[in-house]
Amino acid sequence: MTAAISVTGLTRRFGGVVALDNVDLSVEQGTTRALIGPNGSGKSTLINCVSAVDQWDGGTITLNGEELAGKNSAKAARRGIARTFQTLRLFDDMTVLDNIMVAMHHSRGYGFLSAVIQLPTYRAAEKRMREEAFELLELAGVARDANRTAGTLPYGHRRLVEIARALALKPTVLLLDEPAAGMNDAETVQLAELVQRIGRDDLSILVVEHNMDFVASVASQVTVLDNGHVIAEGTPAEVREHPEVLRAYLGASEEEL
Amino acid sequence: MSNLTTQSSERALTPAPRMQPNGTVSRVASWLIWPALLVLAVGLGLGIDNNYWLQVTVNAEIMVIATVGLYVTFGLSGQVSLGQAAFFAIGGYSVGLLVTKLSMDFGLAMVIGVLLSAIVGLALGIPALRLKGHYLALATLGFGQVVALILVNWTWLSGGATGVSGITAPLFGSFELVTVSDWAVFIGIFAVLAIFVVHRVKNSSYGRAMQAVRDSDVAAAAMGVSLSAVKVLAFVIGAAFAGLAGALNAGFTTYISPGTYNLALSVSLLAMVVVGGATSHWGAVIGAVLLTFLPELLRPIQDYYLLLYGVLLLIMVAFVPGGIWGVILGIGRYVGRLTGIRRRREKTELDLLKGEES
Amino acid sequence: MIIQSVVSGLAVGGIYALLAVAFLLTYRVAGVLNFAQAEFVMIGAFVASSVAAVAGVPLVAAALLGIGAAAVVGVLMERVTYRPLRNAPHASMIISTVAVGIILQQAAHLIWGPNPRSLPSLVPNVSLDILGSRVSTVSLFIFVVSIVLIIGVTLLLSRTRLGRQMQATAVDADTAQLMGIRTGQIVVIAFAISTALTGAAGVLVAPMFSVTVHVGMLIALKAFAACVIGGFGNLPGAAVAAFGLGIVENLGGSFIGSDSKDLLAFALMIGFLLLRPQGIFGAKVGEKL
């Protein structure tokens, strides 16, 4: 087994604040790892680094054996790193189907002139993209919304569309940033089923999530972050019993109360 | 209840034509639009007797070309350009100088003018598009001023404030456009072609990428879209179309001077897109036609025209953000909803009948 | 010769600086790029010249009325641009200020007609002999007044409670509101101060040019250029850049010819936008692609 995502010694500072301090993390190919931790523990920062949206100050990130350093997020995405956002970032004024097809832009297979003249290659490519996009929407269970404007969808549906859009990149690495945030119990179960369904041998998933039931149902391994440090690692059951984790979470929940 | 779910899943697989822009009905309709527009353009050119109104029509067609181009830059990809007049000038002066100084055919000079506009657009676009929102507006504003000042001051090149006159040349070989009517047909065809190209761009993957960059650049990049490539493409299309409009204008009026290419032209092009509706190229077309004819129609109150224009612009921006096209869509949707309700009611009645039968 | 050039450069630069500071004030506090600034120069100049033409009215009163008129119109402008559009896209706000500019220019055209007006200077125009160069008192006066006004605004922003509230609104309007600052009022005040400064610039330039509806056009564009060169985030920086621009233009004009001197400002502006968009004194604004 090789690691699809391999993060070693990752450090990220914002001014004087150390958001990530020497973090090690790896996701084996074809598996799902969850990343949990209290608010502000650095989870989103890590996702932003791995997707090359954010830069980092020290350490290395390797994806499928290739170093990520120096790439921007568009290049990383074209290499098969897909992500969703904690705060939804759909293209609100476009239809759901068009949202998905944006992720196929780099693999569209036709040039500008061909698009204007609408050569057969263009027509074939558009048909293929539309069909693939529709299949992804069906997989995510939101095919009914295909022709609606994305901004008008209910919240839970938008989350599912974002996952379908990420899958349209045909990724080898999928980063889900709190996909269940703001969802009710039924929607969370539906989401967990979706994440299980998209699991393939060549897709490795890193999911940031608070909901431990969700985590236990989708992830085989869990990494716990607190204040930018990894404080525990293991199966969901192991992590749940871990004294450091209990302390971090109890401390956090006391603060939150 | 089960009936309801099967019905809706069927609907998902074969979406209703009015919801699906690529459905058969709308595809046929959208194909009919182009021959219809061509017939309209040629018909206007041949049919309008009054030379004055024919000239206004040609002006509107020229504005349509520049405005649909700006729609790609501003409406589709969200970049504010206040320098379109400069590209207009590059197209116009290329034609003017090549025709009068090098005795070049108009057709060839026009091609060079458009290419030059595109190249200058590219040269300005690549560094300037790193700038966000208002910085780009300022960069294009400054660029427009530089070009305007060059036109006045570099007399050896541009003829200075007196401009270039006598821009008459055969189109190709011995074929020449002579009457206003000739020009109206010629430019009309270009206007339809310009709308057509923009329509195609919008519905292609390039158009989707541009809209994505406009809606959320972070997400677009995370989906593998190269922001710089998409923005530069959109900017260059706007520049090239403005160049084409300027080139055609120079040929039509046979005379160009720096006064034409000022900030007011850039602003009115942007105003055409906004008033017409920045969400669609059809909005841009409507805006261009309307704001070209409006001053002519308001000629009796000429002194107040620009005042009225300013007030209209202010009201449209503040209270009708979707522009005229948005209003038309709203009315269409309202009518559609009314007929949709009627259809559903018919269906329920039908169901009731069936129920009675069984 | 050089000294004479520098002093008239400082005078022109002072005008640019007033407009640059005014422009950045509404930009920083309200996020509005005011493309109608030229028209506020015009309002100041027109109102002052009309009032001064009435027999018996002292020049100072005419000047103050010109400035006041600009401020009143500025407050009205806030109502039709910022308030309805504060959550709208950037382009909408830009176009709305352009629309206001068109309206003001046309209204002025209807009120004052096409014939240019003139306004005497507040100080008598005599040439002083400084180090062997002849320096005009009008230029010196413009320079001094603009410096005093700019320092006044800077002090207002840094030393007073109102100024701190403005700064807080500029940094984060939502948080400022949570802290109990009436951001709506602050924005209105920012508009009033900004347009009053612009009107003052109009009163100052009126004796140098004839007063037409286009009097402010080029000046305002040059002030935009100065903002870009100095840096958008930084009021004093933009003012310094504006003075610098005035001097460079005047010195450059005597070398490359006065026809090309207008090009200089915009070429510099584009150069800065492309190579150092944050300006001389600003923090980084570039976007990672």
Task: Give me the DSSP letters along B31-54.
Answer: HHHHHHHHHHHHHHHHH---HHHH
Encoding tokens for residue C145?
Answer: 């007044």
**A90-118 pLDDT, tens digit each:** 999 999 999 999 999 998 989 999 999 88
Place of tokens 């084996």: A28
**Residue C145: pLDDT band with limits 50, 70, 90:** very high
pLDDT digits (tens, 9 = 90+) for C164-179: 998 888 888 888 888 8
CB neighbour list of residue A175: distance below 8 Å, 6 or more residues apart: A47, A50, A51, A81, A82, A83, A84, A205, A206, A207, A208
pLDDT for B14: 41
- B251: tokens are 């040929």
Please report the pLDDT score of residue B133 as a whole number. 63
Q: Which of B145, B153, B267, B279 to mutate to test binding with chain C, by most C CBs within 10 Å of its CB?
A: B145
pLDDT, position C175: 85
How close C263 gets to chain B, by Cα (Å)?
6
Domain A1-80+171-257 in this protein, CATH class: alpha beta
Across residues A225-248, what is the average pLDDT?
85
Altogether, the residues listed in chain B come to a count of 358
Q: How far apart are CA C12 and CA C77, in angstroms?
A: 27
Among chain A residues, the shortest Cα distance to B230 is held by A105
Give the mean pLDDT of C28-50.
91
Whole-angstrom Cα distance, residue C192 to residue C73? 8
Other CB atoms within 10 A of residue A102 CB = 28
Within chain B, strands assigned E span 164-165, 255-256
Average pLDDT taken over every residue of chain C? 86
| Confidence at residue B145, expressed as pLDDT on a 0 to 100 scale | 84
pLDDT at residue number C77? 94
CB-based contact A72 B233, cutoff 8 Å: no
Query: Is C111 in the B-facing interface, judged by CB distances under 8 Å?
Result: no
Q: How far is the alpha carbon of C95 from chain B, nearest alpha carbon, in Å?
A: 7
Mutate: best of A98, A102, A142, partner B, most B CBs <10 A: A102
Q: How sure is the predictor about A252, in pLDDT bands with cuts at 50, 70 and 90?
A: low
Look at residue B152 in the predicted model and tell me its pLDDT: 86
Q: Which of B233, B314, B316 to probe the C interface (max C CBs under 10 A)? A: B314
Exposure class string for B69-91: b at 16+ Cβ within 10 A, else e? bbbbbbbbbbbbbbbbbbbbbbb
Give pLDDT, residue B169.
80
The pLDDT value recorded for residue B1 is: 37
Which of B205, B241, B279 to mutate to test binding with chain A, by most A CBs within 10 Å of its CB? B205
Confidence of residue C76 (pLDDT cuts 50, 70, 90): very high
What is the average per-residue pLDDT within C208-230?
A: 87
C123 touching chain B per CB within 8 A: no
Closest Cα of chain B to C148: distance in Å?
28
- Closest CB to C107 among B133, B307, B318: B307
- Give yes or no for C174 touching B (CB within 8 A): no
Tell me the shortest Cα–Cα distance from B22 to chain A, in angstroms.
10
- pLDDT tens-digit profile of B242-296? 999 999 999 999 999 988 888 889 988 988 998 898 889 999 999 999 989 988 8
Per mean pLDDT, which range of A201-210, B178-187, C116-125 is the poorest? C116-125
Interface test with C, best of B71, B81, B134 (most C CBs within 10 A): B134
Cβ contacts (< 8 Å) between B135 and chain C: which residues?
A: 232, 273, 277, 285
User: Does the distance separating the beta carbons of B128 and C91 come in below 8 Å?
Assistant: no
CB contact under 8 A, B141 and C107: no
Task: Provide the CA C61 distance to its chain's centre, in angstroms.
Answer: 21
Query: What is residue B19's predicted lDDT score, i.e. its pLDDT?
Result: 40
Find chain B residues with C-beta within 8 A of C287's C-beta.
Answer: 130-132
Q: What is the pLDDT of residue C283?
A: 59
Judge whether A99 and A91 are in contact, CB under 8 Å. Answer: yes
- Provide the chain B residues 156-215 that lie in CB contact (below 8 A) with chain C: none
Q: pLDDT band at A257, cuts 50/70/90?
A: very low
**How many CB atoms are located within 10 Å of the residue C25 CB?**
25
pLDDT at B91: 96
Query: Mean pLDDT lowest for which of A3-7, C88-92, C261-265?
Result: C88-92
pLDDT at B23: 52
End-to-end CA distance of chain A, in Å? Answer: 43
**pLDDT, position C78:** 93
For B5-16, what is the mean pLDDT?
39
- pLDDT tens digits along C118-134: 888 888 777 777 777 78
Q: Are C133 and C1 in contact (CB under 8 A)?
A: yes
Q: What are phi and psi of A34, to 5 degrees?
A: -100, 150
Mean pLDDT, range A183-207, rounded to an integer: 89
pLDDT at C50: 92
The pLDDT of residue C138 is above 60? yes
Average pLDDT over residues C23-37: 89
pLDDT in tens, A140-188: 999 999 999 999 999 889 999 999 999 999 999 999 999 988 888 888 9
Contacts (Cβ under 8 Å, ≥6 apart) of C201: C15, C18, C19, C22, C41, C44, C146, C216, C219
From chain A, the residues in CB contact with B72 under 8 A are none
Position B15 pLDDT exceeds 50: no
**Substitution target from B73, B138, B158, B218 for chain C, most C beta carbons within 10 A:** B138
Residue predicted with more confidence, C91 or A9: A9
Q: C131 and C3 in contact (C-beta within 8 Å)? A: yes
- pLDDT score of B357: 37
> Does the distance separating the beta carbons of A102 and B279 come in below 8 Å?
no
What is the pLDDT, as a whole number, of residue A250? 62
The per-residue pLDDT for C95 is 84
Q: Which helix (H) or strand (E) holds C128?
A: strand C127-130
**φ, ψ for residue A192, nearest 5 deg:** -60, -40
| Cα A92 from chain centre | 19
For helices B51-70 and B263-276, angle between their N-to-C axes, nearest 10 degrees: 80
Asked which of B9-23, B120-134, B164-178, B213-227 is least confident by mean pLDDT, the reply is B9-23
C261 touches B: beta carbon within 8 Å: no
Q: Which residue is closest to A162 within chain B, CA to CA?
A: B219
Sign (positive or negative) of CA dihedral B214, B218, B220, B226: positive
Residues shown for chain A: 257
Packing angle between helix C2-30 and helix C161-171, nearest 10 degrees? 70
From A51, A112, A118, residue closest to B206, measured CB to CB? A112
Local confidence band at B219 (pLDDT 50, 70, 90 cut-offs): very high
Mean pLDDT of chain B: 83
Considering only CB atoms, B12 lies closest to which of A78, A98, A143, namely: A143
Q: What is the pTM of this model?
A: 0.85
- DSSP notation for chain A: --EEEEEEEEEEEETTEEEEEEEEEEEETT-EEEEE-STTSSHHHHHHHHTTSS--SEEEEEETTEE-TT--HHHHHHTTEEE--SS----TTSBHHHHHHHTTGGG----HHHHHHT-HHHHHHHHHHHHHHHHHHHHHT-GGGTTSBGGGS-HHHHHHHHHHHHHTT--SEEEEESTTTT--HHHHHHHHHHHHHH--TT-EEEEE-S-HHHHHHH-SEEEEEETTEEEEEE-HHHHHH-HHHHHHHHHHHHHH-
Write out residues 264-293 of B within 8 Å (CB-CB) of C: 267, 270-271, 274, 278
Interface of A with B (CB under 8 A): 51, 53, 72-74, 77-78, 82-83, 85, 89-94, 98-99, 101-106, 108, 110, 112, 115-116, 118, 122, 126, 129-130, 138, 143-144, 146-147, 165-166, 168-169
Examine the pLDDT at C89 and tell me if it is beyond 60: yes
Closest CA to C205 of C275, C279, C124, C138: C138
Parallel, antiparallel, or unpaired for β A81-83 and A173-177?
parallel
What pLDDT is recorded for position B7?
37
User: Which chain A residue is nearest to residue B210, measuring alpha carbons?
Assistant: A102
State the nearest Cα–Cα gap between A256 and chain B, in angstroms. 30
Per-residue pLDDT, B124: 86
What is the full DSSP assignment across C232-276?
A: TT-HHHHHHHHHHHHHHHHHHHHHH-TTTHHHHHHHHHHHHHHH-
Query: What's the angle, vertex CA C209, arms to CA C207 and CA C211, rounded to 5?
Result: 90
* Confidence band, pLDDT 50/70/90 cuts, at residue B306: confident
Q: Which of C85, C105, C232 sits opposite B317 (nearest CB)?
A: C85
Q: Are A211 and A182 in contact (CB under 8 A)?
A: no
C86 shares contact with chain B (CB less than 8 Å) = no
Asked if residues A185 and A191 have their Cβ atoms less than 8 Å apart, the reply is: no
What is the band of C63 on the pLDDT scale with cuts at 50, 70, 90? Answer: very high
Per-residue pLDDT at B13 exceeds 60: no
Taking the CB of residue A14, how many other CB atoms lie within 10 A of it? 11
Q: Which of B133-137, B319-323, C238-242 has the lowest mean pLDDT?
A: B133-137
Mean pLDDT in residue range B322-339: 87
Task: Please tell me if residue C50 touches chain B, with a CB cutoff of 8 Å.
Answer: no
- Beta-strand pair B164-165/A66-67: unpaired
When mean pLDDT is compared across B9-13, B234-238, C39-43, C169-173, the lowest value belongs to B9-13
In this complex, which of B82, B314, B319 lies closest to C99 when CB atoms are compared? B314
Q: What is the pLDDT of residues B36-73, one digit of tens each?
A: 998 998 888 888 888 889 999 999 999 999 999 999 99
Q: Is-contact C66 C55, C-beta < 8 A?
A: no
Do B205 and A118 make contact, defined as CB atoms within 8 angstroms? no
Contact B310 C99 (CB under 8 A): yes
Per-residue confidence (pLDDT) for residue B59, from 0 to 100: 94
Q: Cα A67 from chain centroid?
A: 19
Report the DSSP beta bridge partners of residue A11.
A58
The 10 Å CB-count burial string (b at 16+, else e) for A112-147 is eebbbeeeeebeebbeebbebbbebbbbbbbbbbbb
Domain extent listing, chain C:
2-216
Q: What pLDDT shows up at residue C1? A: 66
* Single-letter code of the amino acid located at A253: S
Contact C95 B271 (CB under 8 A): yes
A178's CB contacts (< 8 A; 6+ apart) are A44, A86, A208, A209, A210
Please give the DSSP secondary-structure letter assigned to residue C133: E
Give pLDDT, residue C83: 87
**Contact assignment for C96 to B318 by CB distance below 8 Å:** yes
The domains of chain A are located at 1-80+171-257, 93-170
Listed residue (B308, B297, B325) closest to B56, CA to CA:
B297
For the segment C194-220, the average pLDDT, to the nearest whole number, is 90
A101 contacts in chain B (CB < 8 Å): 205, 208
